[in-house]
Amino acid sequence: MLLTFKHSKHQRHLAQLPKIPQTVTDIKILYSPEDFYYALIQAIAVAKQRIYLVALYLEQDQGGQRILEAVYNAKRNDSSLDIAILVDWHRAQRNRIGAAFSYTNADWYCHMAQANPGVEVPVYGVPVNTREILGVLHLKGFIIDTKVIYSGANLNNVYLHQQDKYRYDRYRIIHNRLLADTLLTYIKQHILTAPAVNRLDNIARPKSLKIKNDTRLFRQTLREADYFYQGEAGPNELAITPLVGLGKQSLLNKTIHHLFCSTRDTLTLCTPYFNLPALLVRDLINILRLGRQVEIIVGNKIANDFYIPEDQPFKIIGLLPYLYEINLRRFFCRLQQYVDNGQLVLRLWKDNGNSYHLKGVWVDKEWQLLTGNNLNPRAWRLDLENALLIHDPTLALNLQHEKELNRIRTHTQILRHFTELENIVDYPFKVRKLIRRLRRIRIDLLISRIL
């Protein structure tokens, strides 16, 4: 009786969420980063009202250049377009981790503004915290007219598959004016009005130290901000609930917890960095104890975007894929009995030198969570995250979702035993040495909380 009550509590939380009606014909799943790139370029080219691009970063490379040039061309062709690009303030003003300091993305935005006089394409830097390591802008969703193009992808070569490698993610094109308006209202009311948010395409932009107090106040307001809309969908129709949150107690985090615990039969989870918050680990264990089926699809360490091949110079950031694999091995070992009885399926994704960036949750074919949230302690506590929770009680999208999952599984290997994953003794010498040194002073625990 107690278990039934708890399960009803989780189902009740999901049922009480306001939901935006969605027609089946107005939602489309894309299955490759190349398709995502062409869809985004096409949508920008035919925009009639507005273009708002939100990402962690828009990078100065071939892919990023094509996107930014497309936005400038759209504005040049129609000066009435409402346009803004939002990226993380700190990420835009540094180079890639481990690279020497040089020309940054922010410098490039300034150059593009100067090269296109009279064509206004503002690029805003959003400082979610006073330092990048303590929180970044991790909102997802490109709003173009009445469309929301939703993906966990950022904007550069690998996410857009511009050259010989790609970074695999999830992609949706959703035609829904109320959903687009809801996401845009949040941006305009809670982000663009903040004194901490400044133009990056302005060479006279303030230093981070100067806006430090504004940034702290901004972070506090973000903890309390939410999407506001009239959810009119009934319990038996296809619908979408947009969720946003910052901090451990956010509605987004609570909903992910309730979504896990509402599982009646099956749960599928995708994450690129296996470092689940303790609450979600407990949820998964409880689900397994209740006899449910759980499938976890995670990237092989070689498919991690921080992985550094052994024939290249080692940098400390290259330690992360090994730390994630250690977490996965420990989790796997703990739950080996559920693998043995078939309840738990663990899949490792690897496709040559390409990388894996998928996030999301499928529950009982009825619920699907689209998100950029990595389902790790950093996303749980530090970053500004959002998600779209799709309720599909009549399984109207089931064929599309099954096709997507089958595509994701294509390059995966099912693990039968935790010993199939490498142990520390199997790692390269520099990696072994550094892990053991960090463990002695317990810094590995701190790293797991912030990366």
**DSSP code, position 327:** H
The number of helices, as runs of H, and strands, as runs of E, in the chain is 16, 20
For residue 291, how many other CB atoms are within 10 A of its CB? 10
Give me the pLDDT at residue 213, please: 98
Catalytic residue among 10, 59, 90, 138: 138
Tokens of 257: 């917890």
Q: How far is the CA of 132 from the CAs of 89, 373, 395, in angstroms?
A: 8, 16, 41
d(CA 243, CA 251): 7
Give me the pLDDT at residue 449, please: 60
Q: What is the dihedral of CA 136, 368, 449, 209, to 10 degrees?
A: 10
Give me the pLDDT at residue 397, please: 96
d(CA 444, CA 449): 9
Q: What is the pLDDT of residues 168-178, one digit of tens each?
A: 999 999 999 99
Mean pLDDT, the chain, rounded, equals 94
Average pLDDT over residues 269-273: 95
- pLDDT band for 291, please (50, 70, 90 cuts): very high
Same-fold call for 23-224 versus 239-450:
yes
Q: What is the dihedral of CA 93, 54, 168, 165, to 10 degrees?
A: -40
Catalytic residue among 385, 391, 404, 411: 385
Tokens of 415: 């693990």
Active site residue 169: yes
Catalytic residue among 10, 357, 391, 411: 357
Give me the pLDDT at residue 2, please: 47
**Percent of the chain residues past pLDDT 70, beyond the cut:** 94
Lowest mean pLDDT among 161-175, 305-319, 329-343, 394-408: 305-319
Contacts made by residues 415-422, CB under 8 angstroms, sequence distance 24+:
415/332, 415/339, 415/346, 415/347, 415/348, 416/339, 417/336, 417/339, 418/329, 418/332, 418/333, 418/336, 421/325, 421/328, 421/329, 421/332, 422/325, 422/329
Tokens of 427: 């790692």
Give me the pLDDT at residue 400, please: 94
The answer, yes or no, to whether residue 445 has pLDDT greater than 70, is no
The answer, yes or no, to whether residue 6 has pLDDT greater than 80, is no
**DSSP code, position 60:** S
Give me the pLDDT at residue 437, please: 83
For residue 270, how many other CB atoms are within 10 A of its CB? 26
The answer, yes or no, to whether residue 264 has pLDDT greater than 60, is yes
In terms of CATH, what superfamily is 239-450? Endonuclease Chain A (3.30.870.10)
Q: What is the pLDDT of residues 389-405, one digit of tens each?
A: 999 999 999 999 999 99
Top-confidence residue, 272 or 451: 272
Give me the pLDDT at residue 310, please: 86
Report helix, strand or coil for 215: helix
Give me the pLDDT at residue 1, please: 45
Q: Where do the structural domains in the chain lie, given as residue ranges?
A: 23-224, 239-450
- pLDDT band for 75, please (50, 70, 90 cuts): very high
- Check: CB of residue 294 under 8 Å from CB of residue 288: yes
Active site residue 7: no
d(CA 177, CA 148): 9
Active site residue 357: yes
Q: What is the pLDDT of residues 113-151, one digit of tens each?
A: 999 999 999 999 999 999 999 999 999 999 999 999 999
384-373-12 Cα angle (round to 5): 95
Report helix, strand or coil for 270: strand
Catalytic residue among 59, 88, 169, 295: 169
* This prediction's pTM: 0.94
In terms of CATH, what superfamily is 23-224? Endonuclease Chain A (3.30.870.10)
Give me the pLDDT at residue 335, please: 97
Region label for 365, one of left (φ > 0), alpha (ψ between -120 and 50) or beta (otherwise): left
Lowest mean pLDDT among 37-41, 43-47, 100-104: 100-104
Active site residue 190: no
